[in-house]
Homo-oligomer: A and B are copies of this chain.
């Protein structure tokens, strides 16, 4: 998240930023910003603040964004389509190298941007060839675990999961699940308990 704001500042030509300034921007405290950054190294200049552009570069390095990551999307439904067309991915160095589905009605379908939906059964061979390490999963919950097991064997090492289920993966595979219904339920809880608790910001 820090990176996003630093790039913003950078594009506006700001040279340096103090922890105070960054904290207001991120909605946190100066001490937090300094602790967070210091855990990766000593980036700031005392009396001056943090060099915006240089810090951006270093964070990108730390996050492993120095090179392009190849990503496959599994599931060519509505969510898969939205993700495939999402510019935010390509802008940040994630190149979508394939979209897969197992439904005959979807396979071969040509999307607006030239992507052709491929058969799941080709995934193994493709992943071996293009060395994709990241998969985005946009398939029904019931199919998710078997597909996960399969793509891990194929070589995938990180999964962004949109299926509303908890998945089992070995320790050497990173998994991040995004569950939109759960997010909405969190809002429902907040609305319901507004008076009782302090309101979330």
Which A residues are within 8 Å of any B CB, using their own CB? Answer: 1, 3-5, 25-27, 62-65, 69, 71, 78-79, 81-83, 85-86, 88-89, 91-92, 94, 133-134, 157-160, 164-166, 169, 171-176, 178-194, 198-201
Of B158, B160, B200, the contact of A180 (CB 8 Å cutoff): B160
Other 11 A-B pairs with CB < 8 A, given A4-B165, A173-B199, A175-B200: A5-B166, A78-B82, A79-B82, A79-B86, A83-B180, A171-B198, A171-B199, A172-B194, A172-B199, A176-B183, A178-B178
Q: Determine if B187 and A158 form an interchain contact, defined as CB atoms under 8 angstroms apart.
A: yes
Of B4, B5, B181, B199, the contact of A88 (CB 8 Å cutoff): B181
Q: How far is the CA of A188 from the CA of B59 in the complex (A)?
A: 12
Q: Determine if A158 and B78 form an interchain contact, defined as CB atoms under 8 angstroms apart.
A: no
B contact residues around A64 at 8 Å (CB): 188-189, 191-193
Q: Determine if B78 and A184 form an interchain contact, defined as CB atoms under 8 angstroms apart.
A: no
Q: Determine if A180 and B134 form an interchain contact, defined as CB atoms under 8 angstroms apart.
A: no
B contact residues around A200 at 8 Å (CB): 174-175
Distance of A149 from chain B, by nearest CB (Å): 15
Q: How far is the CA of A62 from the CA of B189 in the complex (A)?
A: 7
Identify the closest chain B residue to A157 (Cβ). B191
Q: How far is the CA of A171 from the CA of B198 in the complex (A)?
A: 8
Q: Tell me whether A199 and B187 are in contact in the complex, defined as CB-CB below 8 angstroms, given that A164-B4, A181-B92 are known contacts.
A: no
Of B166, B173, B187, the contact of A160 (CB 8 Å cutoff): B187
Q: How far is the CA of A183 from the CA of B185 in the complex (A)?
A: 20
Q: Determine if A201 and B160 form an interchain contact, defined as CB atoms under 8 angstroms apart.
A: no
Q: Tell me whether A185 and B3 are in contact in the complex, defined as CB-CB below 8 angstroms, given that A157-B191, A178-B180, A193-B64 are known contacts.
A: yes
Identify the closest chain B residue to A62 (Cβ). B189
Of B158, B190, B198, the contact of A190 (CB 8 Å cutoff): B158
Q: How far is the CA of A187 from the CA of B198 in the complex (A)?
A: 32
Q: Determine if A188 and B69 form an interchain contact, defined as CB atoms under 8 angstroms apart.
A: yes
Distance of A200 from chain B, by nearest CB (Å): 5
